[in-house]
Amino acid sequence: MKDLQIIKQRFGIIGNYEGLNRAIDIAAQVAPTDLSVLITGESGTGKETFPQVIHSYSTRKHGQYIAVNCGAIPEGTIDSELFGHEKGSFTGATESRKGYFEVADGGTIFLDEVAELPLSTQVRLLRVLETGEFIRVGSSKVQKTNVRVIAASNVEVPRAIDNGRFREDLFYRLNTVPIRMPALRERGEDIFLLFRKFAVDFSEKYRMPAIRLDSEAKNALLNYSWPGNVRQLKNITEQISIIENEREITVATLRNYLPEYGGVKLPAIIKKEDEKSFSSEREILYKILFDMKGDMNDLKKLVYDLIRGGDANLTFHESNSRIIKNLYREADKEETVTKSPESASVEFSQHQVRNDIQDTEEIIEESFSLADKEVEMINKALEKYNGKRKMAANELGISERTLYRKIKEYGIES
């Protein structure tokens, strides 16, 4: 327990929540080893502190410590940043350059947002983890490095594996020792400790009395969901410290700074699959195709019900002929039932309609290829914004880097 308090004081970790203490204990236990560590948790929970704890209590503490935000480096340059490049290996490579894995030899490298790495880079990273070998971009010479890798991610890596965006073998190699950072809403009275710490810090920074909460405001603070976790709490405390004149904060004042405040904690609502946010353009295309299929099924059912109801005076548009012909095929597969003379008359009229449709039928094959749909949507977006890729990417709900890669992949002229 004494070592736990020393670590908290040294690295400014506030709180007594059991899950937080467990994470600190695991970090201290694994620090003297060279095992890879994967830190998971929501954005804003303070994951970036734990690699520093591990490095400081390891045998590598006198070596280099490098933190890399994988999500902030463009896909085209990530390999060069991590593994280095040779002079002339690509446009703009006017001289050779060491990568982070070469610079951090004998030390520790922290890969934040590791799930954002491209699949090709994940293969290179896996080789470094398994053999300590890497090759600079534009070189054929194999180099060795002795680096301890600590990674972090705020996304569910198993879900990224299922979506084909992260290698399963790399996950198991990184996840040798898992550390989970608890969300702020799980930490109970730690919220008050953090608020008081931030309030004192900002009072000293801006030379004003520290703000404090009344009892109702404390309950509101405790019952809020904190989607931005500790980072959001710190920002809100700073805002209130600067903007509000009154130093005692009421619940009415506090609510002005809490987006979508719900009042009390309710059981977590599990979103249905069709309500989830889309993490890639491929998921958007799947959703569009499924919606189209549902609309087609509704149309088929409507027309099928009308036909079975015996409305022989229906007129059909030629573009629906293929659908209706398929409906008759499905009707022929149903079990035979005893028909009255009236139903026989209706059946005769239906067969007459079927023959009319067959004579004028025009089958139009529609492509359901995802690649074709992607190309079509990208072309429409580019045409809408006169070739401006950034605006087209926003329209498609993807990053500009992903749009550039798709344009290159499909050979789209923009």
Name the residue range of residue 394's domain. Answer: 370-410
Residues 8, 155 within the same domain: yes
Measured CA to CA, the distance from residue 208 to residue 30 in angstroms comes to 42
Using pLDDT thresholds of 50, 70 and 90, give the confidence band for residue 272: very low
Two tokens at 264? Answer: 């009390």
* Res. 351: pLDDT tops 60: no
Residues 50, 103 within the same domain: yes
Q: What is the pLDDT of residues 362-398, one digit of tens each?
A: 444 555 567 788 888 888 888 888 888 888 888 888 8
Using pLDDT thresholds of 50, 70 and 90, give the confidence band for residue 280: low
Residues 353, 397 within the same domain: no
| Mean pLDDT, the chain, whole residue set | 82
- Exposure string of 114-129, with b = 16+ CB inside 10 Å and e = fewer, is bbbbbeebbebbbebb
pLDDT of residue 286: 64
| Number of domains comprising the chain | 4
Whether residue 263 lies inside any domain: the answer is no
Whether residue 92 lies inside any domain: the answer is yes
Residues 150, 107 within the same domain: yes
pLDDT of residue 273: 41
Give CA angle at 406 (401, 411), nearest 5°: 130
Q: What is the pTM of this model?
A: 0.63
Q: Which of 166, 182, 198 is the last residue of a domain?
A: 182
Higher local confidence (pLDDT), 38 or 372: 38
Q: What is the pLDDT of residues 40-53, one digit of tens each?
A: 999 999 999 999 99
Query: In 3D, which of 79, 179, 66 has the Cα closest to residue 119?
Result: 79
Using pLDDT thresholds of 50, 70 and 90, give the confidence band for residue 178: very high
Residues 36, 154 within the same domain: yes
Q: What is the pLDDT of residues 179-193, one digit of tens each?
A: 999 999 999 999 999
Residues 69, 163 within the same domain: yes
Residues 177, 190 within the same domain: no
* Res. 176: pLDDT tops 90: yes
Question: CA gyration radius for the chain?
Answer: 31
Q: What is the pLDDT of residues 281-315, one digit of tens each?
A: 566 666 677 677 777 777 777 777 777 765 444 44
Q: What is the pLDDT of residues 148-169, one digit of tens each?
A: 999 999 999 999 999 999 999 9
Q: What is the DSSP letter of 14?
A: -
Query: In 3D, which of 38, 54, 18, 48 has the Cα closest to residue 178?
Result: 38
Using pLDDT thresholds of 50, 70 and 90, give the confidence band for residue 86: very high
Q: Which of 130, 147, 182 is the last residue of a domain?
A: 182
Whether residue 268 lies inside any domain: the answer is no
Residues 336, 380 within the same domain: no
Residues 177, 236 within the same domain: no
pLDDT of residue 338: 42
Whether residue 314 lies inside any domain: the answer is yes
Most confidently modeled of 221-230, 319-328, 338-347?
221-230
Percent of the chain predicted with pLDDT > 70: 78
